[in-house]
Amino acid sequence: MGDSAALIVAASEQDANLYYATRFWAPDPFILARINGKKILVMSDLELDRAKSEAQVDEVLSLSKLQEQAKRSGAAHPGFSDVLDLLFKERQITSLRVPGNFPIVLADRLREKGYTIVPGKEPFFPERMIKTKEEVAAIRETQRLTEEAVKSAITVIQQSQIKNGELWLGGQPLTSELIRKLLHVTLMGSDCLGRETIVAGGTQACDPHCIGTGPLKANQPIVLDVFPVSLKSRYFADMTRTVVRGKASEKVKKMYRAVQQGQEIGFKKLKAGVDGKEIHDAILKYFEQEGFPTGMIGGRMQGFFHGTGHGVGLEIHEPPRVSNLSDVMKAGQVVTVEPGLYYLDAGGIRLEDMVLITETGCENLTTFPKLLELN
Amino acid sequence: MGDSAALIVAASEQDANLYYATRFWAPDPFILARINGKKILVMSDLELDRAKSEAQVDEVLSLSKLQEQAKRSGAAHPGFSDVLDLLFKERQITSLRVPGNFPIVLADRLREKGYTIVPGKEPFFPERMIKTKEEVAAIRETQRLTEEAVKSAITVIQQSQIKNGELWLGGQPLTSELIRKLLHVTLMGSDCLGRETIVAGGTQACDPHCIGTGPLKANQPIVLDVFPVSLKSRYFADMTRTVVRGKASEKVKKMYRAVQQGQEIGFKKLKAGVDGKEIHDAILKYFEQEGFPTGMIGGRMQGFFHGTGHGVGLEIHEPPRVSNLSDVMKAGQVVTVEPGLYYLDAGGIRLEDMVLITETGCENLTTFPKLLELN
């Protein structure tokens, strides 16, 4: 029996694990093998030189040279599996640990060649969840730029005029699309990329993944959920604020206070060693007590029907989760705290901050104020 | 023996096939099964309502309901494999056609449950390569907005001042980063998302995936390769222009003419039924004849060492390829024509247009002029 290696074949642009392990950003799939603690990349001619200068690995091999070698060994059109076969045979590797998202077609070819393929448990690199100082600084910086963008968006909503219950600005209706574009353009000016940013008013926000469309209305909650990635550091941030231009109803005000208190429960309880489920359940229970039940109402999920939080880093959603599934927090993790309440007769309220878990508690990385009514 | 189904489990934000088949955009993985020609989605509570109203499928099922059902059948913590098992057993499905990038961990679990998993050949949906009128219109629109952004970038380069061989604007050096940001912000203002946009001067452009950094210089070629996606239609465009602020050397001028002629070879030859390899080889041969060889020179790949073109659609790189591998063109495909020449003693020259393949030839979707020197 031979030795074991870790193997990832992906485009690092789409695979945070591969980017994490190599710090090399590429749009097309390439090979990373970790053999005896050494990281080996196999790169196409197009990326070879850049990988040699940029990738944080031990060795960079040429795909085309290995393909030539595979041809001499009899492969007519050598693909990744033939190249990997060469690489592993030379190094007496017979067993491969791969991420759960490893492509089946390549796994099957390697199995045909006699390799044992073992999908690793998630997270593939558990150390990725624990942020270094540099990583926390990167997340904090993305958050700072996000807050600047959210500030300009909220200022525009605040400055809008109310005409027949709709928000107007500069002679046209103020729409979700306009605020979203303002956020995206402002973020891009700071080298941050916002996608699917949520600017959802009224009942639209009751569908927490509806990004929002059309004219925004006065006296109704508007949810702004902004989660860009820095194109410089590759780290995400994530925040949500809910505002009302005009007057909020009593129900909306009560929902807002409950959601804010829900967040406080999270902030108080979050620390290393605590189970996220305990926090999520406590918030859910608190909402029930305050008269905000969760479940199917009139054929639609209403109340608080998503998780309390998720890890943030090279992906916008990464482990750990603060949800109805057990997941014990560790120092160095960065998670969101984002309870929400959604009722079709009132609209949606969500508040979201990011916190850094420590041994003794948590540190809020978000500094943006929480203010419901804009007048 | 039971029947067969097609199965994709992915986040449509990261999987163009899934978006193509459902027209539903979601950041988290969900299930699409095509059974007897009917498309069935299985969605989390979070996405259920939005999927019902937006997805172009025949049926949308609730993941949590199926999970409840699986629990009653004995699964302690029902995952996707348990839910799929329920779905397929009820419908007498035993064999599953999946895309090549199907996650190994789920494939293994389904195989353990007795299913035959057959990775489908790429492209998984061959019809995705053949663009409908609507798809061509979407690509054309993204291209139009791309050209507007490139126009502003080139105008800024043209308006820059030359000081000691460097480009200056408004009292500061004009850098790759500034031009890239201008492109990204302009594109975002048109709801287009540019990433890794290349603004590479001098020898930086000899590494075709180097995006370019630092001050731009006069009298040296600057490669602008811009390939954004529309956030509205989800379709990409792709174009490259090379400019010199100041005077181009004789070698650079000759390279530029050769690359432009290389493109013309592509435009003339491209039509339904032609093998892309024939076109790529003809351009490579033409370059050789003009005194521009390709290969390792001084330890670095130089000359024309990437493919001539690639399909463009919901992905920036999709089939077919116009390269050194055989691939026969079909009417309705949209491909780039982007020959380039790269020499360390001169810099990089690349020109790229997108064309629509027709029965009798090809139609250029790019209207942007080609002008080397900006004075």
pLDDT(A360) > 60: yes
| Best residue in B209, B277, B310, B350 for a mutation probing chain A (most A CBs within 10 Å) | B209
- Mean pLDDT score, A322-329: 97
Token pair 């055989």 is found at B326
Predicted pLDDT of residue A210: 86
Contact assessment for residue A332 and residue A131, using Cβ atoms and an 8 Å cutoff: yes
> What amino acid is encoded at B281 in this protein?
D
Contact assessment for residue A78 and residue A97, using Cβ atoms and an 8 Å cutoff: no
Instruction: Identify which of B100, B108, B193 has the shortest CB distance to residue A105.
Output: B100
Token pair 């109310």 is found at A162
CA dist A72 → A43, A65, A68, A75, B360 (Å):
20, 11, 6, 7, 41
Residue A15's pLDDT band (boundaries 50, 70, 90)?
Answer: very high
Tell me the C-alpha distance between A71 and A48, whole Å: 20
A119 min Cα distance to partner chain B (Å)? 6
First-to-last alpha carbon distance for chain A, in angstroms, is 73
pLDDT(A1) > 60: no
> Which helix (H) or strand (E) is A335 found in, with range?
strand A334-337
Q: Which two tokens stand for residue B74?
A: 């004995």
Query: What pLDDT, in 10s, does the model give residues A135-151?
Result: 999 999 999 999 999 99
Instruction: Identify which of A50, A117, A209 has the shortest CB distance to residue B209.
Output: A50
Percent pLDDT > 90 in chain A is 91
Query: What pLDDT, in 10s, does the model give residues B246-256?
Result: 999 999 999 99
Q: Which residues of chain B have pLDDT under 50?
A: none
Q: Which residues of B touch A209 (CB under 8 A)?
A: 26-27, 46-47, 50
pLDDT(A207) > 90: no
Instruction: Identify which of B108, B195, B301 has the shortest CB distance to residue A45.
Output: B301
Predicted pLDDT of residue B208: 79
Predicted pLDDT of residue A27: 86
Helix pair angle (B63-72, B45-54), 10° resolution: 130
- Give the long-range contacts of residues A294-303, CB within 8 A, separation 24 or more: A297/A343, A297/A344, A298/A344, A300/A206, A300/A344, A300/B49, A301/A342, A301/B45, A301/B48, A301/B49, A302/A206, A302/A342, A302/A343, A302/A344, A303/A341, A303/A342, A303/A343
Sign of CA dihedral B80, B85, B86, B88: positive
CA atoms within 13 A on the CB side of B259: 28
Q: Which two tokens stand for residue A132?
A: 């270094």
Predicted pLDDT of residue A211: 93
**Chain A: residue whose CA lies nearest to B15:** A14
- Residues of chain B within CATH 3.40.350.10 domain(s) are 3-128
**What single string gives the DSSP state of each residue in B300-339?**
EEEBS-S-SEEE-SSSSSEEEEESSS--B--TT-EEEE--
Tell me the C-alpha distance between B278 and A154, whole Å: 57
Q: Which residues of B touch A208 (CB under 8 A)?
A: 46
In terms of Cβ atoms closer than 10 Å to its own Cβ (0-12, 13-18, 19+), residue B165 is exposed
Interchain pair B27, A196: CB under 8 A: yes
CA dist A330 → A134, A317, A343, A357 (Å):
18, 17, 34, 7
Instruction: Identify which of B27, B98, B195 has the shortest CB distance to residue A104.
Output: B98
Contact assessment for residue A183 and residue A194, using Cβ atoms and an 8 Å cutoff: yes
Question: What's CA A275's distance to the chain center, in Å?
Answer: 20
Interchain pair A208, B306: CB under 8 A: no
A300 min Cα distance to partner chain B (Å)? 8
Q: Which residues of A touch B105 (CB under 8 A)?
A: 100-102, 119
Residue B4's DSSP bridge partners are B95
Tell me the C-alpha distance between B295 and A375, whole Å: 67
- List the one residue out of B203, B204, B240 whose CA is nearest residue B225: B240
Q: Which residues of A touch B103 (CB under 8 A)?
A: 100-104
Tell me the C-alpha distance between B313 and B332, whole Å: 11
Question: What's CA B233's distance to the chain center, in Å?
Answer: 14
CA dist A282 → A254, A322, A337, B63, B287 (Å):
18, 11, 13, 25, 70
Q: Which residues of A touch B41 (CB under 8 A)?
A: none
- Give the long-range contacts of residues A365-370, CB within 8 A, separation 24 or more: A365/A136, A365/A139, A365/A140, A365/A143, A365/A237, A365/A334, A366/A143, A366/A147, A366/A239, A367/A147, A368/A147, A368/A150, A368/A151, A368/A239, A368/A241, A370/A241, A370/A260
- List the one residue out of B82, B156, B143 whose CA is nearest residue B312: B143
Contact assessment for residue A238 and residue A195, using Cβ atoms and an 8 Å cutoff: no
- Residue A237 or A122, more confident: A237
Q: Which two tokens stand for residue B141?
A: 């629109």
Predicted pLDDT of residue B1: 54
In terms of Cβ atoms closer than 10 Å to its own Cβ (0-12, 13-18, 19+), residue A141 is middle
Tell me the C-alpha distance between A124 and B268, whole Å: 49
> Which helix (H) or strand (E) is B135 found in, with range?
helix B133-159
Interchain pair A46, B208: CB under 8 A: yes
- List the one residue out of B216, B219, B205 whose CA is nearest residue B248: B219
- Residues of chain A within CATH 3.90.230.10 domain(s) are 130-374
- List the one residue out of A5, A68, A62 whose CA is nearest residue A38: A5
For residue B172, what are the contacts with CB-CB under 8 A and spacing of at least 6?
A: none
Helices and strands of chain B, counted as H and E runs? 9, 24
Contact assessment for residue B25 and residue B12, using Cβ atoms and an 8 Å cutoff: yes
Tell me the C-alpha distance between B204 and B156, whole Å: 20
Tell me the C-alpha distance between A254 and B218, whole Å: 62
- Name the CATH superfamily, with its identifier, for domain A130-374: Creatinase/methionine aminopeptidase superfamily (3.90.230.10)
Interchain pair A104, B105: CB under 8 A: no
Residue B34's DSSP bridge partners are B6, B39
Interchain pair A48, B301: CB under 8 A: yes
Contact assessment for residue A306 and residue A325, using Cβ atoms and an 8 Å cutoff: no
Q: Which two tokens stand for residue A26?
A: 């590429």
**Chain B: residue whose CA lies nearest to A26:** B209
Tell me the C-alpha distance between B95 and B117, whole Å: 6
Question: How large is the greatest C-alpha to C-alpha distance in chain B, in angstroms?
Answer: 77
Query: What pLDDT, in 10s, does the model give residues A268-302?
Result: 999 999 999 999 999 999 999 999 999 999 888 89
Predicted pLDDT of residue B176: 98
- Mean pLDDT score, A337-342: 98
Strands B347-350 and A309-311: unpaired
Tell me the C-alpha distance between A349 and A153, whole Å: 17
Predicted pLDDT of residue A208: 79
Residue A67's DSSP bridge partners are none
Question: Per CATH, which fold does A3-128 belong to?
Answer: Creatine Amidinohydrolase; Chain A, domain 1 (3.40.350)
Q: Which two tokens stand for residue B318?
A: 């999709």
